[in-house]
Chains A and B, each alone.
Chain A
């Protein structure tokens, strides 16, 4: 029963990772890659100050995106789970949130440009309201726009698992807390938040790995002024420097797996499904 699954994962997950690991020790010339066993790629990677900047950038984007997707995602999930009373409405509002996702990610990202640009909607609206006198430069091609695009694409990945766990909270626990004299904030902090932790963790895993593995959003939204690890890899690929790309990829993979390993200590995924 399980063999097709095992075959797919073996040929398209295990073997490719093994291949990347092998190639990361190879040598590259301008036109080809040569089998070898040398640590040049790693030495170069760890010897270059760019690497550290880029990894710090990657973590910065992951953490910032996590903070905002969590705050927004938790609030939206809370609203849907506790304030919307009928299942039909919950489903309808959910569908409303998912419709934008049927437009290609790439196109949706590009369309931030006319919105945030110098003469974009955001700037011209703010000017016409008299909030600002001249266009804000930091709206586009900045860390702000990168994080904004990430939050835009990935918040739903936070909403769904959190909503899922919230729906399974026994409502009588909340009543008990209220009978015990807890106010709304206390119920939220001491009852709902701890019980929602597994959902938050699953959402966190999604958001953090998606942001850490991204190579496109940062390029488009930072106007090529900023880089993350994914971009480093894709630049190397574009230059056909596969061994160097592979070394970076291995380091990125280990970073992601360690991060996930830490997060998984807080939640047993199989129990939570």
Chain B
């Protein structure tokens, strides 16, 4: 290997600073969540304890943390599954031009760049004027899809731009129906990127609050609960919640990565040896 240029060390230092900057708040939360029972939201620490974590499991004066947590998870999975299915279908459709494809493409871009609070306001108004009650699983669900679908679709566009069409042609030449082609050829090939779409779908939904603000009705999702807590709660219980949700997120990522690794292994062991030069 050629020796590293001097700029490498300068840039490494810069990168480390960047990572410290990124982690600063997360670490602050982590430390302060172990604040002693008499301590407040800021330094100094008044002792070290697990008090605020216990407090989190007690009945809270306001709100319903665990209920909102459960709703956020359910909603996250609903959004995730829908995002995968709709993005794959959209990605497949967008490979050819169809009437309205340009308009639809610009709508996707609009959904991506529109300020979230507009979706919240618009969907809220729409439901109230139509006389339908807003609920996290209907209006909230739809509002979040306008955020996750553009990401899912952009990933699918990127995937299909690099997709080798000759696989499909080969399947078709062998007499596969179009459904069989998709089921047995296209889907297995794009499966790894679907994990990316799933991860995006879940986490974008799980952490979204602007689009859910006016569309979730009386039952909050977790980010809304936290949003509410910032004005009501002035104890480190907020940080304890932050620490716990971070750990939860890490577990989720671990699961997604684990699935990815497993799928790769299965592929390696059960995949065909075609094209590897074995006769």
Contacts and interface: CB of A to CB of B under 8 A. Distances in A.
Given A107-B226, A216-B210, A270-B157, A246 B249 contact: no
Contacts of B112: 209
Contacts of A19: 122, 125-126, 129
Interface of B is mostly: helix
A19 to B, nearest CB: 5
Interface in A107-134: 107-115, 117, 119-121, 124
B24 A115 contact: yes
B259 interface: no
B108 interface: yes
A104 B157 contact: no
A244 to B, nearest CB: 11
Interface residues of A, number: 78
A166 to B, nearest CB: 13
B18 A110 contact: no
Nearest to B29: A111
A12 interface: yes
Nearest to B227: A106
A103 B246 contact: yes
B195 interface: no
Given A16-B122, A104-B245, A119 B207 contact: no
B218 to A, nearest CB: 16
Nearest to A122: B24
A100 B105 contact: no
Nearest to A5: B90
Contacts of B220: none
Interface stretch (A42-50, A169-177, A192-200, A252-260): A252-260
B191 interface: no
Interface in B56-102: 85-86, 89-90, 92-94, 98, 100-101
Interface in A71-94: 72, 75-76, 78-80, 83, 85, 93
A239 B276 CA distance: 67
Contact of B125 (A20, A75, A155): A20
A209 B43 contact: no
Contacts, number: 236
A56 interface: no
Contact of A103 (B29, B92, B227): B29
Contacts of B22: 97, 100, 152, 155
Nearest to A211: B115
Contact of A111 (B94, B116, B239): B239
Among B5, B14, B252, residue most surrounded by chain A Cβ atoms (within 10 Å)? B14
B238 A110 contact: yes
Given A6-B104, A20-B121, A233-B121, A83 B8 contact: yes
30 contacts: A1-B90, A1-B92, A2-B89, A4-B85, A4-B86, A8-B146, A13-B114, A15-B126, A16-B119, A16-B123, A16-B126, A17-B114, A19-B122, A20-B121, A83-B11, A103-B25, A103-B29, A106-B226, A107-B239, A111-B29, A111-B239, A111-B242, A213-B116, A215-B117, A237-B214, A242-B125, A252-B118, A253-B115, A256-B115, A273-B158
Interface of B: 1, 4-5, 7-8, 11-12, 14-15, 18-19, 21-26, 28-29, 32, 41-44, 85-86, 89-90, 92-94, 98, 100-101, 104-105, 107-119, 121-123, 125-126, 129, 142-143, 145-146, 149, 153-154, 157-158, 161, 203, 207, 209-210, 214, 222-223, 226-227, 230, 238-239, 241-242, 245-246, 249-250, 252-253
Interface of A: 1-2, 4-6, 8-9, 11-17, 19-20, 23, 72, 75-76, 78-80, 83, 85, 93, 96-97, 99-115, 117, 119-121, 124, 152, 155, 184, 205, 209, 212-216, 220, 230, 233-234, 237, 242, 245-246, 249, 252-253, 256-257, 260, 264, 269-270, 273
